[in-house]
Amino acid sequence: MTKRALITGITGQDGSYLAEFLLEKGYEAHGLIRRSSTFNTDRIDHIYTDPHDAKSKLLLYYGDITDSGQLTNLIYNIQPDEIYHLAAQSHVRVSFDMPEFTGDVTGLGTTRLLDAIRRSGIKTRFYQASSSEMFGDSPPPQNEETPFKPRSPYGAAKVYAYWMVKNYREGYGMLAVNGILFNHESPRRGETFVTKKITRALARIKLGVQDKLYLGNLEAKRDWGYAPDFVEAMWLMLQQDEPEDYVIATGETHSVREFVNLAFNHAGIELEWRGSGAYEKGIVASVDSKQYGVSSVQNKNLEKPSAYSSLPTVYLSGKSQLKVGDVLIEIDPRYFRPLEVEFLQGDASKAKKKLNWEPKVKFRDLVKIMVDEDIKDLEEMRRCQDVIRKLANSKSMQ
């Protein structure tokens, strides 16, 4: 029989990869989406099919993790075999600005869902998106036995949710698990998380759309993995007979600075760091012109024609090549956090032993995947704009 999964947070990075993964496995995927004044389904548009089509296997419902009535209805009506709870206010820096909201969505949201399952009386398996941010300043390597010492409202909300999962598992016999996932990234990563912020800015610098990138703490160390690898681990956890919690990580750790250096290197730019603290700057030390590549339109200094006035937001104006000594990175203290998690490095040996899970993509390849994808996307956008410009010009000549 076809299995049914309900995914909260289906429009997010992980939700979109998980939906793809489950559809591929023959599941029917049901997703909770928020009503918004603009479309928020970019990441799943490619797998969406017309719901009028009887064969459609991806079904979406409006709802919010703060609305328990709707959650109970959905669970009762869908009767999912598996629930993947990924919806959250997931940005750590933002959680300092909105601690109460983060507690409501990221913490209490899990309780609402667990209780909706209990009240609806259905038998289902439940996955909670727990986080390495819960470890806070517990020293690395962190595993399932490491104490939680959260250092953000987000981390504290996730710790609360973690314990609610354990309570419902032990109190009501639910097959509910915590996947304690370390940072995982991809080209679909939200644009304000540091990896995507770096690779997106690099592509824009390379194509002459942006001059500089402003960052916060360059010394923080993270265990960065690849999101598609990590969603497979979520699924594996729910296929076990015994509900248990698992750490999912690559075991490798790197600083934000290392990420920046490797990303820029991959695009042919060698950086030199000068100054310290808030005054530190990343400066072009050399450019490998072969690797950096000079796209044919890059030096054209395209003028913005009047026909563009109705065109989008980013007009990709050309710009001359980078020079040695150009300042590409500066520090903006606004991106520092009131408290920082300095060092995350996961020990996923339990997942390896019991789930037979191992990451396929490690740090170096992850950086390359993200840089290449962002450059490719921007080049495609530029080509489209060139075509539109030509069309607009030929029309105005008629």
Give the footprint of ligand GDD on residues 298-357 (CB under 6 A): 335, 337, 340, 344
Alpha-carbon gap, residue 322 to 327, rounded angstroms: 10
Site map for ligand GDD, 244-283, x if CB under 6 A?
Answer: ------------x---------------------------
Helix (H) or strand (E) holding 286: strand 281-287
Position among 216, 228, 243, 282 found at the interface with ligand GDD (CB under 6 A): 216
Site map for ligand GDD, 169-208, x if CB under 6 A?
Answer: -------------xx--------xxx--x-----------
**Does 303 participate in catalysis according to the annotation?**
no
Choices 50-58, 213-221, 290-298, 315-323; region in contact with ligand GDD by CB under 6 A: 213-221
- The pair of three-digit structure tokens given for residue 109, joined into one six-digit string: 């949201």
Q: How far is the CB of 90 from ligand NAP (least distance, A)?
A: 4
- The pair of three-digit structure tokens given for residue 331, joined into one six-digit string: 């520090």
Choices 49-57, 183-191, 287-295, 347-355; region in contact with ligand NAP by CB under 6 A: 183-191
**Does 154 participate in catalysis according to the annotation?**
yes
- The pair of three-digit structure tokens given for residue 175, joined into one six-digit string: 């097959």
Residue 9's binding partner out of ligand GDD, ligand NAP, none, with CB under 5 to 8 Å set by partner kind: ligand NAP
Residue from 90, 130, 131, 152 carrying the catalytic annotation? 131
∠ CA 283-296-373, rounded to 5°: 65
Place of tokens 């490719």: 376
Give Cβ neighbours of residue 127 (< 8 Å, ≥ 6 apart): 82, 83, 84, 85, 176, 177, 179, 234, 237, 238
Backbone angles phi, psi at 144, to 5 degrees: -65, -20
Closest CA to 359 of 229, 231, 253, 232: 229
Q: Which is nearer to ligand NAP, 140 or 190 (CB)?
A: 190
Q: Applying CB under 6 A, does 155 fall inside the site for ligand NAP? A: no
**Does 131 participate in catalysis according to the annotation?**
yes
Site map for ligand NAP, 115-134, x if CB under 6 A?
Answer: --------------x-x---
Cα 24 versus chain centre, distance: 21
- The pair of three-digit structure tokens given for residue 356, joined into one six-digit string: 């037979």
- In DSSP notation, 226-268 reads EHHHHHHHHHHHHTSSS---EEE--S--EEHHHHHHHHHHHTT
Q: For binding to ligand GDD (CB under 6 A), which residues are involved? A: 90, 92-93, 131-133, 182-183, 192-194, 197, 215-217, 220, 222, 256, 335, 337, 340, 344
Q: By the criterion CB under 6 A, which residues form the site for ligand NAP? A: 8-9, 11-15, 32, 34, 36, 40, 64-66, 86-90, 105, 129, 131, 181, 183-184, 190
Which residues belong to the active site? 131, 133, 154
